[in-house]
Amino acid sequence: MENLLNKKILFIICGGVSAYKSLESIRLFRKNSAEIKTILTQSAKEFVTPLSIASLSQGKVYDDLFSLENEAEMDHISLSRWADVIIVAPATANTISKLSQGSSEDLASTVILASNKQVFLAPAMNVRMWEHQSTKNNLKKLREYGYKIIGPVIGDMACGEFGEGKMSDPQDIFNLVKNFLINQTKNKKLKALVTAGPTNEYIDPVRFITNKSSGKQGYEIAKSLSKRGFDTTLISGPTNLKIDENINLIKVETTEEMFKATQKNLPTDIAVFSAAVGDFKVIKKNHNKIKKQEELIINLEKNIDILNYISNHNSMRPKLVVGFAAETNELNKNAIEKLKSKNCDWIIANDVSKKDRGFDSDYNEVTIHYKNFKNKEEKLSLKKKSEISEEIVDRIVTQIN
């Protein structure tokens, strides 16, 4: 059985009756050779003791942001970097609210805010608190930020009521996080390439043909792949977006430059072509700025089709080739035709004619068409592009592993 040797887990235990369940979760992770460190919030110490946690985890227990001993040994930034994942269990309504607001008033919230690792939240609270609109809004925001929510489940509560809000079983929490970590280890052996953004095709030194692509969806896909352990390269057309330092960013401007950069970064295991590449380029670019005139005729020719080239490149073809189809009409019909003509494995179709999604928006709604499953399509409903990316990468990980 695969174990979690050399995996580092930071447990954050918040104040709630379910805090005792985290002892069992810690025991399961230690049994599977994971290394554990723990943060107890002030209210958590009303339910479990640092001594009981330390004896089970065989690791350091932190409980005060301003402890000189803690800061001398490992500051909050280092602690956030130390962990492979962070588990917050139980995640109380108060903690969920603080995290959604970006609070950093204690060690637990400061470490989470400073972390660049996957954070899992296992909510536990009274059914009425769970159903309250403010809790729903806070969780929606946290999902958009990339947090993974485990549970809660329906059952009897310590307060005597029955309903949804009971913390998930420790075994379920263990299984989900273990699968994530094992896949992350497997993925570290794999390379992923993502293209994003528009391309510029110059008419003269100051004018060019381009499109409205912002690159946001491609950047989010690259972030999600990197977070899952893939050795990720992002080839980006002109954007103002920032990317994580552990992602190999290659900036290009024209389709030809993007094509050459793609070739240089083959072979790769996964290729996601989300860039809105210019289909045409100017046949003859003017070396000097064209002066204003009554009429200007520009002759265009087809650009290299990067997706088509890579999909049909037998010797260097990635294991999984994913294309995007940005359409304004007959979305699924055009996507299916592109899936066949380009010979890629998936086509992800999105409607860019609507203002609440697509190119400039932070939101998207897509349909995935799968080559190996006849007539199979899967719709991912309207949500933040960061969430769409997580769902796409979930499916990539499933297929690759």
Q: What is the CATH number of the domain that holds 284?
A: 3.40.50.10300
204 and 329 together in one domain? yes
The 10s digit of each residue's pLDDT in 123-167 is: 999 899 999 999 999 999 999 888 999 999 998 777 667 888 899
**Known catalytic membership, residue 344:** no
Looking at residue 1, its pLDDT comes to 46
pTM of the predicted model as reported, rounded to 2 decimal places: 0.83
Same domain? 146 vs 23: yes
Question: Do 123 and 218 share a domain, yes or no?
Answer: no
Domain termination residue (choose one: 185, 203, 218): 185
Can you list the pairs that 347-355 forms with residues at least 24 positions away whose Cβ atoms lie under 8 Å? 347/322, 347/323, 348/274, 348/322, 348/323, 348/324, 348/392, 349/324, 349/325, 350/324, 350/325, 350/326, 351/327, 352/212, 352/326, 352/327, 352/328, 353/327, 353/328, 353/329
pLDDT digits (tens, 9 = 90+) for 13-41: 998 889 999 999 999 999 999 999 999 99
Do 168 and 145 lie in one domain? The reply is yes
Asked, for residue 335, whether it belongs to a domain, the answer is yes
175 and 202 both lie in a single domain = no
Mean pLDDT of the chain: 90
Answer yes or no: is 282 within a domain: yes
Q: Which helix (H) or strand (E) holds 129?
A: helix 127-131
Residues 6+ apart with CB under 8 A from 166: 18, 124, 151, 152, 153, 154, 155, 156, 157
CB 218 within 8 A of CB 252: no
Tell the burial category of 132 from Cβ atoms under 10 Å away from its Cβ (0-12, 13-18, 19+). middle
Co-location of 21 and 61 in the same domain: yes
Do 113 and 222 reside in the same domain of the chain?
no
Helix (H) or strand (E) holding 270: strand 270-273
The answer to whether residues 154 and 239 belong to one domain is: no
DSSP annotation of 19 reads G
Q: Which of 346, 350, 348 is nearest to 320 (CA)?
A: 346
Q: Answer whether residue 169 shows pLDDT above 70.
A: yes
**Number of domains the chain contains:** 2
Whether residue 74 has pLDDT greater than 60: no
pLDDT at 388 over 80: yes
Residues 153, 154, 158, 159: which is the catalytic one?
A: 159
Tell me: do 115 and 201 sit in the same domain: no
Q: Which phi and psi (to 5°) does residue 247 adopt?
A: -100, 130
Residue 169 lies in a domain: yes
What is the 8-class DSSP label of residue 312?
Answer: T
2 in a domain, yes or no?
Answer: no
* pLDDT given for residue 327 in this prediction: 86
Does residue 162 share a domain with residue 224?
A: no
Looking at 230-364, list the stretches that DSSP marks H as alpha helix, in order from N- to C-terminal side: 255-264, 306-311, 331-342
pLDDT confidence of 2, banded at 50, 70, 90? low
Q: Token pair for residue 32? A: 């599977």
Q: Which of 151, 185, 219 is the last residue of a domain?
A: 185
Q: Is residue 309 part of a domain?
A: yes
* For the chain, percent of residues with pLDDT exceeding 70: 95
Which SS3 state, helix, strand or coil, does residue 110 take? Answer: helix
**Residue at a domain's end among 140, 155, 185:** 185
Residue 152: asked if its preceding bond is cis (omega within 30°), the reply is yes
Q: Which helix (H) or strand (E) holds 302?
A: strand 300-302
Q: Is residue 3 part of a domain?
A: no
Q: Name the residue range of residue 313's domain.
A: 188-400
Residue type, 250: I
Angle between helices 385-400 and 170-187 (to 10 degrees): 80
Q: Are both 176 and 164 inside the same structural domain?
A: yes
> Do 392 and 221 meet the contact criterion of CB atoms below 8 Å apart?
yes
Cα–Cα distance for residue pair 196/389, rounded to 1 Å: 13
Residue 176 lies in a domain: yes
Q: Are residues 116 and 225 in the same domain?
A: no
**Within-domain flag for 1:** no
276 near 198, Cβ under 8 Å?
yes
pLDDT value at 66 more than 70: no
Q: Is it true that the peptide bond before 170 is cis, omega within 30 degrees of 0?
A: no
Q: How many CB atoms lie within 10 A of CB 149?
A: 16
